[in-house]
């Protein structure tokens, strides 16, 4: 039996709980701007269909299936629970923090990277591996996806712009609220068209600003060797985790719980989020370019492209 089309899966999706929809869509659109011809062809071949499914839709798929029968084992792939001690002590230890057998975001990135260019797998498996990868490269840049404390902040109740209901927590504020406010969207915005437009605009701004940024872009993009996927994913996770101590939980859990995060805390979070979404987009683009090269080498190219060579 054919699996359900991704679009249908998306249409039945409850709200997402990783970088929210805006963050993931922006990472997708930003990565797209860095793609080579081969990588663009790979994304088009595996993901884009006649229903207008694009890279930003693909970026949401992993969240839409994680509670679905047959996919619940993938839930732990969205994060790595560093058992460190923020805000005084941060750090990831792979053997300690990545669950044996079950895995984590680091091992998932390693696995999906090799699956996309494995000639032993079929095109549906390649497609799912690509969609997982596009999503996980986003999640790994959300600092709280690299932290065990209170389930990555999910159990830290917090207020944002006087919204203090049960559903506000530190994790969701970093997945969604900070991004929406920063981009001028209402907290409750969920219309796909509005979020896609906002993501396109944000991706364009980040792309244009990237050459002016203070961080070193060569260093950001230096992970190119697919054989070193584990080192790369650990490096990315380590950078995110450092921000847990460096900003996200810097003031301590008590302060977070007692103050509205929509003010000065939000202002300080905006450059952090811009930096992490920029890095995620550039790294995803770079990584997909390498994967497209690997697929070409093992002969996983469409007939048509092979004939054009």
Q: Least distance (Å) from ligand ADE to the CB of residue 259?
A: 22
Contact criterion met (CB below 8 Å) for 91 and 117: no
Q: List binders of ligand ADE among 45-84 (CB under 6 A).
A: 78-79, 81
CA dist., res. 62 & res. 21, Å (int)? 12
The pair of three-digit structure tokens given for residue 235, joined into one six-digit string: 């490096």
CA dist., res. 244 & res. 298, Å (int)? 40
For ligand ADE, give the closer residue by CB, 21 or 81: 81
Residue 145 interacts with ligand ADE (CB under 6 A): yes or no: yes
Binding to ligand ADE by CB under 6 A, coded x per residue (else -) over 236-265, reads ------------------------------
Residue 175 interacts with ligand ADE (CB under 6 A): yes or no: no
- Stretch near ligand ADE under the rule CB under 6 A, chosen from 3-11, 41-49, 141-149, 246-254: 141-149
Residue 147 interacts with ligand ADE (CB under 6 A): yes or no: yes
Could you tell me the CA-to-CA distances from 246 to 104, 194, 199, 262, 293 in Å, in that order?
Answer: 23, 32, 26, 18, 36
- SS3 state of residue 150: helix
By a kind-dependent CB cut-off of 5 to 8 A, residue 79 interacts, out of Zn ion, ligand ADE, none, with ligand ADE
Q: Least distance (Å) from Zn ion to the CB of residue 14?
A: 13
Residue 152 interacts with ligand ADE (CB under 6 A): yes or no: yes
Beta bridge partners of 163: 160
Q: Least distance (Å) from ligand ADE to the CB of residue 9?
A: 21
Binding residues for Zn ion, rule: CB under 5 A, are: 18, 63, 78, 139, 175
Could you tell me the CA-to-CA distances from 12 to 31, 110, 116 in Å, in that order?
Answer: 26, 29, 26
Place of tokens 């869509």: 25
By a kind-dependent CB cut-off of 5 to 8 A, residue 147 interacts, out of ligand ADE, Zn ion, none, with ligand ADE
Q: Least distance (Å) from ligand ADE to the CB of residue 79?
A: 4
Q: Least distance (Å) from Zn ion to the CB of residue 142?
A: 6
CA dist., res. 223 & res. 287, Å (int)? 8
Beta bridge partners of 103: 99
For Zn ion, give the closer residue by CB, 84 or 175: 175
Q: How many CB atoms sit inside 10 A of residue 193's CB?
A: 7
CA dist., res. 207 & res. 47, Å (int)? 23
Place of tokens 């990135």: 109
Q: Least distance (Å) from Zn ion to the CB of residue 62?
A: 6
**Count of H helices and E strands in the chain?**
17, 0
Residue 183 interacts with ligand ADE (CB under 6 A): yes or no: no
* Number of residues counted as binding ligand ADE (CB under 6 A): 9
Residues in contact with ligand ADE by the rule CB under 6 A: 78-79, 81, 144-145, 147, 151-152, 154
């Amino acid at each position: 039996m054919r699996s359900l089309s991704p679009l249908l899966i998306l249409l039945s999706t409850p709200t997402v709980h990783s970088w929210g929809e805006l963050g993931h869509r922006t990472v997708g659109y930003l990565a797209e701007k860095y793609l080579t011809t081969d990588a663009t062809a790979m994304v088009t071949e595996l993901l884009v269909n006649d229903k207008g499914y694009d890279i930003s839709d693909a970026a949401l798929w992993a969240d839409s299936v994680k509670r679905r029968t047959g996919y619940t084992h993938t839930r732990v792939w969205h994060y790595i629970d560093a058992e460190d001690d923020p805000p005084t002590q941060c750090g990831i230890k792979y053997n300690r923090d990545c669950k044996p057998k079950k895995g984590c975001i680091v091992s998932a990135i390693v696995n999906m990277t090799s699956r996309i260019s494995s000639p032993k797998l079929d095109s549906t498996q390649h497609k799912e591996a690509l969609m997982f990868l596009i999503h996980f490269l986003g999640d790994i840049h959300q600092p709280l996806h690299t932290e065990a404390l209170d389930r990555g902040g999910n159990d830290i109740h917090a207020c944002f712009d006087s919204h203090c209901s049960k559903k506000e927590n530190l994790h969701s504020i970093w997945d969604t609220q900070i991004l929406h406010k920063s981009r001028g969207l209402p907290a409750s915005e969920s219309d796909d068209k509005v979020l896609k437009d906002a993501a396109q605009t944000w991706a364009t701004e980040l792309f244009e600003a990237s050459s002016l940024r203070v961080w070193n872009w060569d260093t950001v993009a230096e992970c190119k060797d697919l054989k070193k996927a584990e080192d790369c994913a650990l490096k990315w996770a380590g950078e995110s985790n450092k921000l847990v101590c460096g900003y996200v939980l810097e003031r301590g859990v008590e302060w977070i719980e007692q103050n509205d995060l929509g003010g000065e805390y939000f202002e300080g979070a905006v450059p952090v989020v811009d930096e992490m979404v920029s890095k995620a987009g550039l790294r995803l683009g770079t990584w997909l370019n390498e994967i497209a090269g690997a697929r070409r080498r093992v002969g996983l190219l469409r007939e048509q492209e092979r004939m054009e060579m």
